[in-house]
Amino acid sequence: MAPPSAIHTNETVDTGGSVPENSHDDVGTATHEPGLTKAQAEKAEIAMPKFTGQKKFADKYEEREYQKGRLALAFRIFAKFGFDEGVAGHITLRDPVEPTSFWVNPFGVAWPLLKASDLIRVNAEGKVVDGGPCRLLNAAAYMIHHAVHTARPEINCVAHSHSLYGRAFCALGRNLDIITQDSCAFHNDIALYSSFRGIVLAEDEGIAIAEALGNKKAALLQNHGLLTCGRSIESTIFWFMSLEKCCHAQLLADAAAGGRGGETIKIDEKDAAYTYKTVGTEGAGWFSAKPTFDLMEHESGVDYKW
């Protein structure tokens, strides 16, 4: 089906291309370009390949080791993109064996060097119960991530760091505008937490952030930075990378438009909703992250595991 705003005359056809009904379904088929005639559309329509999806494991302990490796790669990816800032920032993985606990980076260990064997596991009470030689826990990591993992049992990964454009945009106290195709992935799927009470060292602040996030996959934490979550490590990381770029793009577009005494052009509501069904799904997030993870795995060799 063509995007809603592309339907101008009765010559524009509905090709019957399937789209997912919610953010957890995979994409079906690609549709024709807007405005094509029926004859042109029959030649243009192609079948989209199904996303392969993440690995499935019968053994939860085997899954744990594999996912820890993916989490280590995630930290190295964040470091490569400059998302590390001293000792600030954290990515957590719900443990497949004991789901009330999660794996996180030990406080103060450099992200470009972080290995799966360095990760630490934290239980529901905030105690480190497993992991590498450095078992220092960032209290803010526990307060924020424990609250989100508890409130969202379907979510397996949560990421937060003080990326440059994310924190610059979060200083504006506003939500993201849907002005690009990429920003459509966050259409009605991003929250604004309009509060800042310093470093998150108290339980109620973590709970407030989780409540503001609600059932969405991303949040802008005012005067603080970005937070994303997903069913997989890969989708969570891609949402963060994409949101950072969306913030950068909007900062540039707003500045350029303001300099000309105008405003940015917003994407039509129906078109944004239509596009979300392709670029905003869990499967799309996982698949979009695959090249980045493949490259980081290639660059790291086996060093990221032990």
In a domain, 235, yes or no: yes
In a domain, 305, yes or no: no
State the pLDDT at residue 32: 34
Running along the chain, 306 residues long, what does each successive block of 10 average in pLDDT?
50 31 40 43 58 83 97 98 93 98 96 97 97 94 95 98 97 97 98 78 83 97 96 98 98 96 96 97 96 96 88
Strands, sheet with 120-122, edge to edge from the N-terminal-most edge strand: 128-131, 120-122, 102-104, 90-94, 157-161, 225-230, 218-221, 190-193
In a domain, 168, yes or no: yes
In a domain, 297, yes or no: no
Domain that holds residue 168: 63-285
State how far the alpha carbon of 108 is from the alpha carbons of 85, 104, 249, in Å. 11, 12, 31
In a domain, 227, yes or no: yes
Instruction: Find the DSSP H helices in the chain.
Output: 38-44, 60-80, 139-151, 164-170, 203-213, 233-259, 269-279, 282-300
In a domain, 45, yes or no: no
State the pLDDT at residue 109: 95
Q: What CATH number is associated with residue 164?
A: 3.40.225.10
Nearest Cα neighbor of 195 from 205, 203, 186, 185 is 205
Structure tokens at 247: 């913030």
State the pLDDT at residue 9: 37
- The domain total for the chain is 1
In a domain, 38, yes or no: no
State the pLDDT at residue 55: 86
State the pLDDT at residue 204: 84
C-alpha 177/C-alpha 54 separation (Å) is: 31
